[in-house]
Amino acid sequence: MDISTVNSLPYEDFVNIFGNVVEKCPIITAAVWSSRPFVSLSALEAAISEFIDSLPESGKEGVLRCHPDLAGRDLRRGTLTRESREEQARAGLHALEPAEASRMARLNEEYKQRFGFPFVVCARMNDSTSILRQLAEGCRSELAAERARGIAEVKKICRVRLRGLVLDDVSNKL
C-alpha cells in the first residue's frame, strides 16, 4: 500500500489496518486519522509520535501497560497479538533456555513492581541477550527515565510495524 492509498482510506478501514501499530492502542490510530492527508509514511509516523508526546505522563504509562510482557504469560498461552508474536519469536523469546526464561520472568516482575508498567523494548531490534541486559539495567533505573525509554521503544515498534504495512518514501519513488 502506498501513502495515497492510505490517505484515501475511510476511518473504519484505517483503524482496522493500522489500529495495532501501537500495541492495543487503536485510539491513537483513530485520533491521527484527523491529520490526513499524510505527505509520506514519515509524516504518518510523526503524527503518531506527536500524539503520544501530547499525552500526560499517566497516558504514556497507559500506553506502556498495553504491551504484553516479553516472554511472558501471553506468549506461553498463545494470546499475543500477531505482531507481538512475530516480534517476540524473531528475538528468540519463544525458545529461551529454562534458566534464561526464569531470569526474564523474575526481572519482568521486579520491573513491574518497581514502576507499575511493563518493561518495553523493540524486540525486532534486539535478541534475547540484549533484552535481558537492558531489562536488568532498567530494574535499577528511575521512573521518569524508564517511562521515557519505554515510550522511545514504543515508537521504534510503531516504525517497524508501519514499515510492514506502507511502502516507504524511497520505494514509493521506484
DSSP letter string over the chain? --HHHHHT--HHHHHHHHTTSSTT-HHHHHHHGGGPPPSSHHHHHHHHHHHHHHS-HHHHHHHHHTSPPTTSHHHHHT-S-HHHHHHHHHTTGGG--HHHHHHHHHHHHHHHHHHSS-----GGG--HHHHHHHHHHHHTS-HHHHHHHHHHHHHHHHHHHHHTTS--HHHHH-
Min dist. Cβ of residue 136 to ligand 2AL (A)? 15
To the query of whether residue 94 is one of the catalytic residues in this protein, the response is no
From residue 67 to residue 106, the character string flagging contacts with ligand 2AL as x (rule: CB under 6 A) and all else as - is: xxxx-------------x--xx------------------
Q: Which stretch binds ligand 2AL (CB under 6 A): 6-14, 48-56, 114-122, 138-146?
A: 114-122
Nearest to ligand 2AL of 82, 173 (CB atom): 82
Given 60, 67, 159, 161, which residue is catalytic? 67
Q: For ligand 2AL, which residue of 18, 41, 51, 118 counts as binding (CB under 6 A)?
A: 118
From residue 119 to residue 138, the character string flagging contacts with ligand 2AL as x (rule: CB under 6 A) and all else as - is: xxxxxx--------------
Residues that bind ligand 2AL (CB under 6 A): 67-70, 84, 87-88, 118-124, 157
The catalytic residue positions are: 67
